[in-house]
Structure 1
Amino acid sequence: MSDLPAVPEPHELRASNADRERIAKILHDAMAEGRLTVTELEERLDKVYAAKTIGELQPLTRDLPVAQAPAPVAAQRAVAVPNDRIGGRGTSSAAVAIMSGTTRNGAWTVPPTFNAVAVMGGVDIDLTQARFEDRETTIQAFALMGGIDIVVPDDITVYVNGVGFMGAFEDSARVGEVAGAPVVKITGFAMMGGVEVKRPKKRKLGKSRPELES
């Protein structure tokens, strides 16, 4: 008899971060269309991020018209990942701007959970030279009549699933999955304000660090 393990059924396959984020987007869209309440969305998102297999994700969208099994994840991008990105203690756990502005940039260490709040003000977060305390980091962004800009480099994996109401929660960077890289999940809410995730501008002659995109 062979000692090889049995081939798992499709629903028994382990779910990837991209699988979970795909389902989260379907749920956010369903709430925006009035198919789910905010409470239902929160309950299902808790189950999404706790899911370990494809089979655990499938029931969460079964009663929605867009429900479908998670599609195969695209091949990971080949990007050189610095070996010094992870480690150390977080140097700042929040950035709050109330009728003012604040910035987090340069060489700093991001804790597992970081909160960014802009109320009639602006917050700039630059992860280009940042380190991360853990391999997975969550940035919770809340903008009320204010703006939050988050600059992300190519060598980290970024997932964006925030919600905008009379405002915008935009992923202009579109940085996908990078093998072996730190994972940053950016979530939150923008009301009459904006949260934008973007890439850094290319260096210009005489500039010491990347500029934020305009």
Structure 2
Amino acid sequence: MLEEQAYEYLLAAYIMEVQLRYRRFIYNGFVEEQLKQVANCLTANTAKFGIVLCGGCGNGKTTMLKALQNLVRRLEILKPNLSPNAGHSSDNYYSFTIVNAMQIVQIRKTDYNKFCRLAEADILGIDDIGTEPAEVQDYGNFIYPIKELLAMRYDAQLFTVFTTNLEPKEIRQRYGDRIADRLNEMMTKVVYRNPTYRTENAQMADSQG
């Protein structure tokens, strides 16, 4: 897919997500640049296998994450080494799972098998990294769910997208040098510099950040 085509598809998915939230979409320079950067991430010939959407609260990061999910679902991208006649089983197409960072912590404590399935998801979107406790105690042991999940995704080289309000230096302080270096290697950073849309006349409601 060409970058221009990815941009048009992503724009349509983005508009749809805004409308699903009963908001009025307004095209501006911030949105244009964010869409262009993400479209480039999806089509560029690069060793990167992830995107981090970072910036202040309420400025469209979660909307972009959900637009990406809708786009992947609608494109029905066939997994490698499968024939176009392989059938319409959902297992034959790439899935895009979104989960909140706080939910990941709870899943890690209560259902490790589900946690491992998240780690193995085709494409994983993690919303609001940095809002969860960095470490939690589980039967007397300290565990680090987000660090563990990101490390597993890195090792498997699985495409991951996450949103965060944290600055790069805060990510390093919170998750350590090892994870920060791996994120730099695996992910392209898209910085959201626009102000919040959470005003009375906002174009969208970015419910998580």
Richer in strand (by share): 1
Indicate the structure whose relative CO is greater, using CA pairs within 8 Å and at least 6 residues apart. Answer: 2
Tell me the TM-score normalized by structure 2.
0.29
Richer in helix (by share): 2
Tell me the TM-score normalized by structure 1.
0.29
Larger Rg: 1
